[in-house]
Amino acid sequence: MNISIKTQYGMRAMVHLARQSKSRSSTEIASAEHIPTDFLEKILQNLKRAGLVRSARGVSGGYLLAHPPRRITARDIVTALEKPLSNVQCLEEKTCPRQDTCATKDVWTNLQRSLFSTLSSITLADLIRDKKTVTSRQKKSAHPKKIRPRRTARIN
């Protein structure tokens, strides 16, 4: 399964918005996340149609999350931007002529369930919390504590 650059950019934009306390323009988001502005505008429109972001016009306008970060899952975002969200073409179709005899259908069904389950279990709140944790760890590792060598007992 290939996740499109559109979805990757959309996820980054949503994480960016989840970190903000006020609305951000598409230009601000694009600049901060290194995403082409025109492309980001289209992505944000898809996310708006899916009910994941809101937009406001005017001087203090821009985009903001339509729900708290804890209520928006990775699956919500991926589903809004990837059409259809399926690993295997035969799972997309309503009726497969080999449905009753296909030896591999269970493999693909289980893979899809696993993907959906994983994406559903990750919220924007998780992503911003994990990023802060990672950033905190990186800062600590940049200034490691000095470790004194241990004295060892001498055995005769």
Write down the pLDDT at residue 107.
86
d(CA 45, CA 55): 9
Torsion from C-alpha of 34, 142, 126, 13, nearest 10 degrees: -10
23: number of Cβ within 10 Å: 18
Write down the pLDDT at residue 99.
76
This prediction has a pTM of 0.76
Higher pLDDT, 24 or 136: 24
Mean per-residue pLDDT for 102-131? Answer: 88
| 5-136 CATH, one of 1.10.10.10, 3.40.50.300, 3.40.50.720, 1.20.1440.230 | 1.10.10.10
Q: At 82, which helix (H) or strand (E)?
A: none
Among 5-9, 69-73, 141-145, where is mean pLDDT lowest?
Answer: 141-145
Per residue in 46-105, pLDDT (tens digit) is 999 999 999 988 887 899 999 999 999 999 999 999 977 766 777 666 677 777 788 888
Average pLDDT, the chain: 83
Which amino acid, one-letter code, is at 115?
A: L
Residue 114 reports pLDDT greater than 80: yes
Residue 131 reports pLDDT greater than 70: no
d(CA 53, CA 55): 7
